[in-house]
């Protein structure tokens, strides 16, 4: 036995003994809502119900998408929006796949250094609070473009229940009461006049949105022009400019949602279809899953030392690549085939060892020759015809820029913060960016959103996604693995405690008090820094799983007011 083998054996024995044993009795599985035909899972029951009712009326998943997305703008102003943007991945019942990008864009007057002072330092709050933080909104263009291509019901009949909801009002939940209270000081800071959310709303109060209803009526009548031109556009541009912003009528008129080819890859017997740039979700998810595929996670077990190590090390390497290579594909060349190539990823993991943590300072982006040539919301829908969509939409931070256009009845995003204001300077999610994600007029800022659809043996298997800023990708990852590797139900997979690593800062974030102290100690001993403070909640995943008997199981995250509705 060579000295090397002997030492490796010693290491192996030492570290396999450190694996904490879970003596707790396994809990019986918890199943989410089961339905036979169709389902919508979203952040609010009102939105899921409106979407499900559209399906009941004979609409398809795309009709239901329009209804659900706009209903979230009414019922979930924290992230649901008319003033933001998003991404959607679909799979039709014929097996056709595709994706749409309705991400916000930098205004025409944007400049690379617009968030820096004369010394080149990032100006605090400028990219997050108030009118300069706002990107040109994409949501209305997104849903209407989807409807144009795939919709079957007339747009006014889809919008009718949404408009009714806005007039009738939405009941404040306990979680919403707390959120509104928490952000009120920032509402006051961002807005010149008082806004409806300044009031001391209490649980079970009803908030009515008559102005938003009027804005939605203009969309129902005039389609895209009801938002990007005419009265709404005029009011919006005046409002933004009056608050010191730079968005013009031309910005709104020029906005278009874009069809994109999704990122497709395999993991064991799964075919995973996820969002392509300018969302980093699909590429990062592919990188992480390809890096971990050779390891026997099923054997290691859920949230055990070895599983956490493998996931953490793959995440570290993928996020390092993300920060260097990814940006808006209309502006930068992204070497996607290489980034998700099995050989490249094997090479990236070559220096990983179970014996100790890799230091992020020792990891950079992989070297690839380029050949010239943090509040969001997710919903999943499967219809009675077998079409599936997975959509994530956002204002970026909670209530976006906090700037609320009272006349139109909605918040405006602060998506400009998703650009890299300065190379190496972290954004609000601690993400570091480089030239690929620098600001330019009409460029889309890099996103972490990861709406994902999965096939198994050629059939629809899952629709899944989540909010959570930089933790979106790793939350989607863990949910998929929980079902596939650890045999959990969809609901248990969504409920399970989550952790996250993003290269920098070099720490594993964990949901507090949900991980065994001995496990944390074992990770510390291997050189991993654990942070249980930064993220009280990691992700808020919603998903639908197609069970063997073809019924649908919803997974609605217990972390929010999320609800599955179907029939
Ligand atoms: O596009 C992104 O990656 C971010 N704007 C998402 C923000 C988010 O998920 C906030 N939610 N907690």
Per-residue pLDDT tens over the stretch 84-134: 999 999 999 999 999 999 999 999 999 999 999 999 999 999 999 999 999
Per-residue pLDDT tens over the stretch 418-459: 999 998 888 998 898 889 999 999 999 999 999 999 999 999
Q: In terms of Cα–Cα distance, which of 564, 567, 444 is closest to 43? A: 564
The residue contributing the CA closest to ligand 1 atom 1 is 447
Per-residue pLDDT tens over the stretch 399-421: 999 999 999 999 999 999 999 99
R_g (Cα) of the chain, nearest Å: 23
Calculate how far, in angstroms, residue 87's C-alpha sits from the geometric centre of ligand 1: 12
pLDDT band for position 24 (cuts 50, 70, 90): low
Residue 371 has pLDDT above 80, yes or no: no
Cα distance between residue 201 and residue 169, in whole Å: 13
- Residue the block writes with tokens 């990891």: 363
pLDDT band for position 202 (cuts 50, 70, 90): very high
Which mutation among 127, 467, 498 tests ligand 1's pocket best, with the greatest number of atoms within 8 A of CB?
Answer: 467
Identify the pLDDT of residue 368.
63
Q: Contact at 8 Å (CB) between 541 and 479?
A: yes
Tell me the average pLDDT across 31-38: 98
Identify the pLDDT of residue 361.
92
Q: In terms of Cα–Cα distance, which of 430, 478, 535, 497 is closest to 285? A: 478
Cα distance between residue 539 and residue 374, in whole Å: 10
Calculate how far, in angstroms, residue 418's C-alpha sits from the geometric centre of ligand 1: 8
- Residue the block writes with tokens 């056709």: 96
Atom of ligand 1 minimally distant from the CA of 472: 9
Calculate how far, in angstroms, residue 112's C-alpha sits from the geometric centre of ligand 1: 21
Tell me the average pLDDT across 181-187: 98
Calculate how far, in angstroms, residue 366's C-alpha sits from the geometric centre of ligand 1: 25
Tell me the DSSP string of 265-317.
EEETTEEEEEPPTTBSHHHHHHHHHHHHTTS-HHHH-TT-HHHHHHHHHHHHH
Residue 5 has pLDDT above 50, yes or no: no
The residue contributing the CA closest to ligand 1 atom 2 is 447
Which mutation among 104, 392, 396 tests ligand 1's pocket best, with the greatest number of atoms within 8 A of CB?
Answer: 396
Tell whether the torsion through CA atoms of 392, 190, 187 and 67 is positive or negative: negative
The residue contributing the CA closest to ligand 1 atom 11 is 375
**Structure tokens given for 136:** 């040109």
Calculate how far, in angstroms, residue 179's C-alpha sits from the geometric centre of ligand 1: 17
Cα distance between residue 175 and residue 13, in whole Å: 47
Per-residue pLDDT tens over the stretch 453-473: 999 999 999 999 999 999 999
**Structure tokens given for 56:** 């009941």
Atom of ligand 1 minimally distant from the CA of 374: 10
For β-strands 508-510 and 530-531, DSSP reports them as: parallel
Residue 370 has pLDDT above 70, yes or no: no
Tell me the average pLDDT across 148-156: 98
Tell whether the torsion through CA atoms of 524, 472, 421 and 436 is positive or negative: positive
pLDDT band for position 366 (cuts 50, 70, 90): confident
CA distances from 344 to 338, 481, 512 (A): 7, 22, 35
Identify the pLDDT of residue 105.
98
Could you tell me which residue, 157 or 371, shows the higher pLDDT?
A: 157
Q: Contact at 8 Å (CB) between 441 and 248?
A: no
Edge-to-edge strands, sheet with 258-260: 258-260, 97-102, 85-91, 388-394, 376-382, 39-42, 563-566
Angle (nearest 5°) at CA 85 between 84 and 91: 150
**Structure tokens given for 372:** 């010239």
555, containing H or E segment: strand 552-556
Q: Which residues approach ligand 1 with their CB closer than 6 A?
A: 374-376, 394, 396, 415, 418, 447-449, 467-469, 472
Residues 6 or more apart in contact with residue 127 via CB below 8 angstroms: 115, 133, 414, 416, 417, 419, 421, 427
Residue 289 has pLDDT above 70, yes or no: yes
492, containing H or E segment: helix 490-495
Mean pLDDT of the chain: 94
Identify the pLDDT of residue 10.
39
CA distances from 556 to 65, 119, 489, 492 (A): 17, 47, 12, 10
Residue 264 has pLDDT above 60, yes or no: yes
Identify the pLDDT of residue 181.
98
Q: In terms of Cα–Cα distance, which of 237, 236, 232 is closest to 220? A: 232
Q: DSSP strand E in 383-507: where? A: 388-394, 404-405, 410-411, 452-456, 459-465, 499-500
Per-residue pLDDT tens over the stretch 336-363: 999 999 999 999 999 999 999 999 999 8
53, containing H or E segment: helix 45-56
92, containing H or E segment: none
Cα distance between residue 279 and residue 379, in whole Å: 17
- Residue the block writes with tokens 């045999």: 487
Write down the catalytic residue from 376, 377, 471, 489. 376
Bridge partner residues of 102 (DSSP):
86
Residue 9 has pLDDT above 60, yes or no: no
Which mutation among 84, 394, 397, 399 tests ligand 1's pocket best, with the greatest number of atoms within 8 A of CB?
Answer: 394
376 is catalytic: yes
Identify the pLDDT of residue 25.
64
Identify the pLDDT of residue 424.
83
Calculate how far, in angstroms, residue 466's C-alpha sits from the geometric centre of ligand 1: 9
Could you tell me which residue, 195 or 427, shows the higher pLDDT?
A: 195
Q: In terms of Cα–Cα distance, which of 395, 346, 315 is closest to 43? A: 395
Identify the pLDDT of residue 369.
58
Q: Can you say whether residue 457 is alpha, beta or left, with left for phi > 0 and alpha for psi between -120 and 50 degrees? A: left
The count of residues in the chain is 567
């Amino acid at each position: 036995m060579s000295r090397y083998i002997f030492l490796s054996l010693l290491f192996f024995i030492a570290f396999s003994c450190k694996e904490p044993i879970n003596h707790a009795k396994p809990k019986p599985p918890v199943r989410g809502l089961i339905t036979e035909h169709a389902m919508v899972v979203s952040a609010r029951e009102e939105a899921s119900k409106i979407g499900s009712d559209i399906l009941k009326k004979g609409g398809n998943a795309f009709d239901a998408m329009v209804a659900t997305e706009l209903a979230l703008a009414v019922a979930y102003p924290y992230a649901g929006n008319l003033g933001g943007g998003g991404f959607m991945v679909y799979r039709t019942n014929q097996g056709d796949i595709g994706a749409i990008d309705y991400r916000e864009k930098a205004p025409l007057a944007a400049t690379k250094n617009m968030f820096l002072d004369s010394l080149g330092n990032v100006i605090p709050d400028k990219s997050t609070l108030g009118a300069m933080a706002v990107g040109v909104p994409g949501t209305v263009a997104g849903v209407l473009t989807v409807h144009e291509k795939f919709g079957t019901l007339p747009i006014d009949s889809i919008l009718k229940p949404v408009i009714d909801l806005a007039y009738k009002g939405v009941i404040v939940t306990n979680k919403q009461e707390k959120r509104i209270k928490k952000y009120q000081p920032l509402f006051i800071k961002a807005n010149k006049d008082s806004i409806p959310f300044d009031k001391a709303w209490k649980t079970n109060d009803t908030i009515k949105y008559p102005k938003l209803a009027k804005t939605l009526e203009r969309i129902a009548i005039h389609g895209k022009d009801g938002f990007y031109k005419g009265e709404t556009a005029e009011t919006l541009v005046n409002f933004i400019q009056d608050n010191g912003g730079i968005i013009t009528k031309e910005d709104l008129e020029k906005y278009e949602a874009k069809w994109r080819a999704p990122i497709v890859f395999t993991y064991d017997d799964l075919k995973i279809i996820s969002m392509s740039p300018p969302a980093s979700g699909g590429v990062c998810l592919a990188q992480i899953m390809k890096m971990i595929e050779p390891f026997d996670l099923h054997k290691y077990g859920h949230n055990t030392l070895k599983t956490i190590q493998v996931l953490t090390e793959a995440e570290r390497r993928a996020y390092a690549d993300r920060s260097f290579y990814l940006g808006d594909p209309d502006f930068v060349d992204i070497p996607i085939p290489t980034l998700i190539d099995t050989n490249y990823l094997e090479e990236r993991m070559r220096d990983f060892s179970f014996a100790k943590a890799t230091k992020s300072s020792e990891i950079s982006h992989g070297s690839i020759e380029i050949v010239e040539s943090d509040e969001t919301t997710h919903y999943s829908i499967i219809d009675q015809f077998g079409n599936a969509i997975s959509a994530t939409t956002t204002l970026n931070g909670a209530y976006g820029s906090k700037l609320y256009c009272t006349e139109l009845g909605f918040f405006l995003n602060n998506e400009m913060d998703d650009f890299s204001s300065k190379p190496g300077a972290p954004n609000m999610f601690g993400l570091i960016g480089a030239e690929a994600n620098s600001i330019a007029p009409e460029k889309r800022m890099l996103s972490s959103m990861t709406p994902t659809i999965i096939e198994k043996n050629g059939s629809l298997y899952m629709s899944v996604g989540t909010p959570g800023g930089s933790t979106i990708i790793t939350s989607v990852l863990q949910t998929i693995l929980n079902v596939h590797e650890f045999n959990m139900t969809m609901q248990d997979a969504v409920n399970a405690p989550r952790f996250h690593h993003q290269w920098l800062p070099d720490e594993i974030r964990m949901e507090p008090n949900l991980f065994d102290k001995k496990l944390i100690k074992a990770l510390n001993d291997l050189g991993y820094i654990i942070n249980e403070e930064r993220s009280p909640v990691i992700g808020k995943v919603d998903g639908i799983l197609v069970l063997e008997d073809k019924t649908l199981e919803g997974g609605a995250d217990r972390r929010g007011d999320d609800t599955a509705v179907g029939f």
